[in-house]
Amino acid sequence: MRHLLVPVDFSEHSSNALEFAAMLSNYLNMDIRMIHVLKAPVNVSKPLEKISGSPVEELAVQELFQQYLDKYTPLV
């Protein structure tokens, strides 16, 4: 099975990319996988630590993912 991986940060650009991926996935008969991305910390003088949000932030991301699924599933 082939997949399209679409990075999502919930910006207008990632929304446009997801919409294009939905149309492309229909044409190529592929599944879409979304991954939430965060901007990397600018300070790289110390080692990168695991970035994890609070439960509230994680819930907000899940809700935004659901909104994207509701919006773009009809296109797929």
pLDDT tens digit sequence for 20-54:
998 998 899 999 898 888 766 555 555 555 555 55
CA 73 – CA 50 distance, rounded (Å): 32
pLDDT of residue 60: 83
| 35 phi and psi angles, rounded to 5 deg | -135, 130
pLDDT value at 55 more than 80: no
- pLDDT-based confidence at 6, cuts 50/70/90? very high
Which pLDDT belongs to residue 20?
93
**Nearest residue to 53 (alpha-carbon basis) of 68, 37, 67:** 37
Residue 45 CA to residue 17 CA, distance in Å, equals 32
On the question of pLDDT at 16 being above 80, the answer is yes
